[in-house]
A and B are shown apart, each in its own frame.
Chain A
């Protein structure tokens, strides 16, 4: 491997302009995260403190091993939904270590409407379970939720990937020997009761923890009986009588202590042996990423400059450096782990698509995980390219990617438009993790292209019907389309809808990927398919 030679001029006007732009963007991201994490109505905070409850993040900090990282997922989920009433989609999910074991954590946030689940809450929890399931990571649930938002039940209850999926995943995890622990700090009502119910281990806090299919109000409504929460599904009842819960805890601290001790009993994972080197910080300062990322979606940038600020020692073994140059392929290390990188340095042509397919086959042959750094506006279109079989070559790229048995990781560095998103392992392609940068935009095509396309369609439609074609009509179509695209292509909309696992400050990319790769090594590799087809 050789050290990437950076051609970045940190004193250039362009660098300074981009740096200022991105610094501001990241400050906005950080501020949104701060608000989503910490700003709650005083009334809710008072209620929790009266109940003797900790805030979910206080529980989390006590549960995690001291001085260790926590990779939090989708911190801004639901930021564009429900009038902003569900910060972080009312729950916290992420990866950290407890008693030296890597685990996925899901914590209900009872400081938001009693921790009630919105549809996006369900989506976020299901995604956390999926991460645990795909990566064979044990999971710890910090339960404190009033249950599903009854007004929104049709969006969270019936479909395949909605609430029922949580319990399906829980059962599958247990079946595969992936351990789960629930710490019941508050109520687990109705479906929520199955979270501790389906965990292999659970702990319940005396006085505040409760597990039942129907809470006291429902029991009263259905049968007229008046019972207290503690009698109906409290700590002593479940740990002494029903056996639904395993360990009684005197208080939240006690529950956390017991929980840590339970995790300490779990067998250490047998990770598959990835090629490793001694970790090394990048030679170039990751802070310079801010001066590389453009301030306009249409502006391109040199992806090798990005790679140089993410990978160990800025060292890179470039594959086919002279062929299909709009896609940079090669090997590098992140936190010591060997990975194969595919990074867009322009539009995907026939040769770059074939190079991608070929390189992915090599990585599979070598058991090297794949990292996709997306900045893609699409596969090249036009007669020449269609005649050269661009669709056929794009299909090869998708086929090679989908058939990969090695873990895949995607970072949305800038643009992600059209079928390029598919080839470069977009959300639909079961990458283990997908992170976005704040400047990222996503759509079936760019906003302007879509506006012009739809204006063209409108024009033809009006002409066909013999109607008058005015600039005003066409401009209206253009403006509306642009407006909709502007909203829906933004990284914040994307993350709000959980099309990713969260927006990252670009300088955090290396740590996030290091933890993601480490997590992915827990699941055994599948079987390889074919050998390497030279494309």
Chain B
């Protein structure tokens, strides 16, 4: 098992090769002898191959901001790495888990949405629930308009289908 991270949006993989007498960690082609000096608060001290590196760090969600000297790194922990690689996954439609009524729509057809954006509020059994986008994508169609009842399993909102998952990602040309 290797430990996968993102360093300023690039994949980095750490592999522990030994723990005794010293922690040895492989990254790329190099194996480093590593230890940490226990520290209080956000300041840290990491010793790599005998050299001490000090700086500051702060965890924000699944990212760690690390500042060494006057350079700031954003390091994504494995969850962030996973998130970066799973963009666009998730179903192509939002289905109803139970019968109910659409109370409000928070998006429109053709809108670009991000995973977790609230798309629709439904009411069922006196309870209002917001449904969120399962993935990043574009809204293809809203199947049930506001103040309309639907049955269990009904498709509420569908997404524009994604290209085949194994198609190579479009090359960014940059600006």
Contacts and interface: CB of A to CB of B under 8 A. Distances in A.
- Asked if chains A and B are in direct contact (CB within 8 A), the reply is yes
Interface of A: 61-67, 250, 256-257, 260
Q: Interface size bucket, B side?
A: 10 to 19
A96 to B, nearest CB: 11
Contact of B86 (A61, A65, A250, A260): A250
Contact of A66 (B17, B78, B86): B17
A405 B86 CA distance: 52
Instruction: Pick the 5 closest A-B CB pairs, nearest first.
Output: A67-B16, A66-B16, A67-B17, A66-B1, A66-B15
A67 B15 contact: yes
Contacts, number: 24
B82 A257 contact: yes
B87 interface: no
Contacts of B19: 67
A260 B2 CA distance: 12
A465 to B, nearest CB: 70
Interface of B: 1-3, 15-19, 24, 78, 82, 86, 89
A103 to B, nearest CB: 13
B89 A260 contact: no
Q: Which of A62, A65, A67, A256 has the most chain B CB within a 10 Å cutoff?
A: A67
13 contacts: A61-B1, A63-B1, A65-B16, A66-B1, A66-B2, A66-B15, A66-B16, A66-B17, A67-B16, A67-B17, A67-B18, A257-B78, A260-B1
B19 to A, nearest CB: 6
Contacts of B78: 257
Nearest to B91: A236
A64 B15 CA distance: 12
Contacts of A64: 1
Contact of A65 (B1, B24, B89): B1
B134 to A, nearest CB: 12
B39 to A, nearest CB: 23
Contacts of A66: 1-3, 15-17
Nearest to B15: A66
A329 B55 CA distance: 57
Contacts of A250: 86, 89
Nearest to A256: B1
Contacts of A63: 1
Nearest to A250: B89
A67 B14 CA distance: 11
Contacts of A67: 15-19, 24
Contacts of B24: 67
A69 B41 CA distance: 35
B96 to A, nearest CB: 14
A61 B2 CA distance: 9
Contacts of B89: 250
A63 B2 CA distance: 9
A256 B86 CA distance: 16
A66 B78 CA distance: 15
Contact of A62 (B1, B16, B18, B86): B1
Given A64-B1, A67-B17, 12 more contacts: A62-B1, A63-B1, A65-B16, A66-B1, A66-B2, A66-B3, A66-B15, A66-B16, A66-B17, A67-B16, A250-B89, A257-B82
B34 to A, nearest CB: 12
Contacts of A256: 1
Nearest to A279: B20
A491 B3 CA distance: 40
A256 B2 CA distance: 12
Contacts of B16: 65-67
Nearest to A98: B1
Nearest to B24: A67
B170 to A, nearest CB: 22
Nearest to A236: B91
B42 to A, nearest CB: 25
A95 B3 CA distance: 21
A256 to B, nearest CB: 8
A65 B1 CA distance: 6
B21 to A, nearest CB: 11
Contacts of A61: 1
Q: Which of A61, A62, A66 has the most chain B CB within a 10 Å cutoff?
A: A66
Q: Which of A63, A250, A256 has the most chain B CB within a 10 Å cutoff?
A: A250
Nearest to A99: B1
A256 B89 CA distance: 18
Contacts of B17: 66-67
Q: Which of B3, B78, B82 has the most chain A CB within a 10 Å cutoff?
A: B82
A257 B86 CA distance: 14
A239 B89 CA distance: 18
Nearest to A52: B166
A63 B1 CA distance: 6
A220 to B, nearest CB: 27
B88 to A, nearest CB: 12
Contacts of B82: 257
Nearest to B86: A250
A407 to B, nearest CB: 25
Contacts of A65: 1, 16
Nearest to B17: A67
A413 B15 CA distance: 36
A260 B86 CA distance: 19
Nearest to B79: A257
A434 B18 CA distance: 28
Contacts of A62: 1
B16 to A, nearest CB: 4
A59 to B, nearest CB: 11
